[in-house]
Amino acid sequence: MAEKTIDIQKLENIFDNMVNVMDKSKNDIFTISEQSRQSYHDMRKELEIIKEDISRVITEGDYLEDMTRHSRRRLADVSKNFLNYSEEEVRQAYEVANDLLVRLSINRMEEKQLRVRRDELDRRIVALLETIERADHLVNQVTTVITYLTSDLKKVGEALETARQKQEFAIQIIQAQEDERKRLSRDIHDGPAQMLANVLLRSGLIEKSFVEKGPQAALSELSQLKEMVRNALHEVRRIIYDLRPMALDDLGLIPTLRKYVSTVMEYDKGVTIHFMNNGQERRFDSNIEVAIFRLVQESISNAVKHGNSRDVWVKVEWLRDTMNIVVKDNGKGFDQNETKEKSFGIIGMRERIELLRGEMKIMSTIDSGTTVLFRVPLEKSNFVE
């Protein structure tokens, strides 16, 4: 049987397309940053004009106030010596005093409106500066992710070049890495990209809230905007960490899971994860350990992030020819009949469990939490001595 040739260049082209998707996401974030920067410059120009208008209105107001005082004295004199003035002089004195009073009132109202607009611009400029800073930071973070990806691709190419006779195993590695990149693309699309898009919407809502509901509502919107940017940064950091749990290679599956559980509890204050391991741990091939780790990781992430769970129970049970994993939470649960077909998290878990030739079962009801059960067959050929 002739040896099948692996087209390294073709595989690298496929992976390059995935990197290009990441690069486009980075460019989209950069575009948001530039749009915010342009808005910042426009607001600075408007603020300078507002300040000049305030100065002009104050000068006019001081003049009108002096004129109003003078007209009041004139009106008081006319009223006091009413008989000494003609009807036309009396009428004129009243009209001048009234006209100056109206003009002064309009002037004070204009000054108040200009000051409100100035303060509003000051707050929006501060918020935009923070948005620009966060967006620039996200661009740097995504650039780091792309660097990790391109570095991994080079390693895959070298491994395939030196191990052609292990074609089937190599293809599984490629498939696993391609799946990881799909998940990474989904995570960025559903996380930082969506959050940054909402940042633009929130910026407009702050102005609208201030005008319609007052400064307290605007401050509340601004607080939510800051929290949104903070969450986007947290998501990018999580994505970078999730690229590869290095402890798997050195320590194995169970110690890495324990470390991950501790990390989750450290980042999500108030969340308690109860971890149990029954039976004798065994080591698998690296790609299998990564797949199992991802299954547990995704389940815990769903429980904390989407289920709002405060307690999560993780149990790993080693039997003679099967590994059972149960992830249970006390969160808000969901209606399985209404689960979207294109839920990326569940699709990813099903893809991984199929690669492991295992089974997955999800049990959940609203307000009663969620339980996820994995059964993974333990084949001797996959063990590492």
pLDDT in tens, 249-303: 778 889 989 988 998 898 888 899 999 999 888 888 888 888 899 899 989 988 9
Q: How confident is the model at residue 170 (pLDDT cuts 50, 70, 90)?
A: very low
Which pLDDT score, from 0 to 100, does residue 93 have?
A: 80
Mean pLDDT of 141-164: 62
pLDDT surpassing 80 at residue 26: no
**Cα 174 from Cα 12, distance rounded (Å):** 10
pLDDT surpassing 90 at residue 307: no
Mean pLDDT of 357-384: 86
Which pLDDT score, from 0 to 100, does residue 281 have?
A: 86
Q: Which domains, and CATH codes, for the chain? A: 8-239 (1.10.287), 246-382 (3.30.565.10)
Q: How confident is the model at residue 42 (pLDDT cuts 50, 70, 90)?
A: confident
pLDDT surpassing 60 at residue 314: yes
Q: How confident is the model at residue 165 (pLDDT cuts 50, 70, 90)?
A: very low
pLDDT surpassing 50 at residue 238: yes
**Cα 48 from Cα 44, distance rounded (Å):** 6
Which pLDDT score, from 0 to 100, does residue 216 have?
A: 76
**Cα 74 from Cα 202, distance rounded (Å):** 54
List the single range of 79-83, 196-200, 228-232, 340-344 with lowest mean pLDDT. Answer: 340-344
Q: How confident is the model at residue 371 (pLDDT cuts 50, 70, 90)?
A: very high
pLDDT surpassing 50 at residue 49: yes
pLDDT above 70 covers a percentage of the chain that reads 76
pTM of the model: 0.42
Which pLDDT score, from 0 to 100, does residue 355 have?
A: 85
Residue of higher predicted confidence among 229 and 41: 41
Arithmetic mean of pLDDT over the chain: 78
- Looking only at Cα atoms, what is the longest distance across the chain? 128
Whole-angstrom CA distances from 342 to 9, 130, 275, 332 are 32, 34, 30, 21
CB atoms within 10 A of CB 345: 17
Tokens, residue 161:
């070049």
| Three-state helix/strand/coil letters over 84-99 | HCCHHHHHHHHHHHHH
Dihedral over alpha carbons 236, 239, 244, 245 (to 10 degrees): 90
Which pLDDT score, from 0 to 100, does residue 341 have?
A: 44
Mean pLDDT of 223-249: 69
Q: How confident is the model at residue 133 (pLDDT cuts 50, 70, 90)?
A: confident
Which pLDDT score, from 0 to 100, does residue 274 have?
A: 95
pLDDT surpassing 80 at residue 189: no
**Cα 322 from Cα 260, distance rounded (Å):** 23
List the single range of 119-128, 237-246, 294-303 with lowest mean pLDDT. Answer: 237-246
Tokens, residue 376:
């993974």
pLDDT surpassing 90 at residue 370: yes
